Amino acid sequence: MLSPLHKQLLNDYQHDFPLSARPYQDIAEQLGVSEAAVLTAFNELNDNGFISRIGPVIPPNHIGISALVAMAVPETQLQAVADKISAYPEVNHNYEREHRLNLWFVVIANDTEHLHAVIKSIEQDTGYPAMLLPMLDDFFIDLGFKLELNHA
């Protein structure tokens, strides 16, 4: 069950998260609660799967280099392979697609050499070849959402 504080954190800080030395203290002051309450609430949201991370969304290839990668993985192995891929710190998300290339993921690295090393390691670790999909056009989809705040 989401508390009013949980809902307010989710609604108000999907965008414009404070960039300061003490962002959680800044949020606490804005909401009239303690920094500990904010940290506890964010930890609860994470523990319950409402959020998976707090961090910036940086446009592709503005810092380092990134690539969209696709793999064809048998359905019976899909979850196990996705879990292996998700364990790489350079992978920020992966998802299933309804296509022969059914597992897609994004790899971010410092440079091209590191990017290719990560992809090669993923191929060796999973046993499946990877296809790099070059970015032809840059699209941004805002995945923010608004929660109902009625507390009845």
User: Looking at residue 97, which CATH number applies to its domain?
Assistant: 3.30.70.3460
SS3 50: coil
Residue 18 lies in domain: 4-47
Is it the case that residue 152 has pLDDT exceeding 50? Answer: no
Task: Establish if 118 belongs to a structural domain.
Answer: yes
Contact indicator for 9, 38 with CB cutoff of 8 Å:
yes
**Which helix (H) or strand (E) element contains residue 58?**
none
Across the range 65-75, mean pLDDT stands at 93
SS3 54: coil
Is it the case that residue 107 has pLDDT exceeding 80? Answer: yes
Query: What pTM did the predictor assign?
Result: 0.60
Q: Residue 151 carries which side chain, given as an amino acid letter?
A: H
Task: Establish if 55 belongs to a structural domain.
Answer: no
Task: Establish if 142 belongs to a structural domain.
Answer: no
Q: Whose structure tokens read 């203290």?
A: 25
Task: Establish if 124 belongs to a structural domain.
Answer: yes
Is it the case that residue 134 has pLDDT exceeding 90? Answer: no
Write the Ramachandran bin of 127: left for phi over 0, alpha for psi from -120 to 50, otherwise beta.
left
| Number of domains, the chain | 2
In this predicted model, which residue has the larger pLDDT, 67 or 85?
85
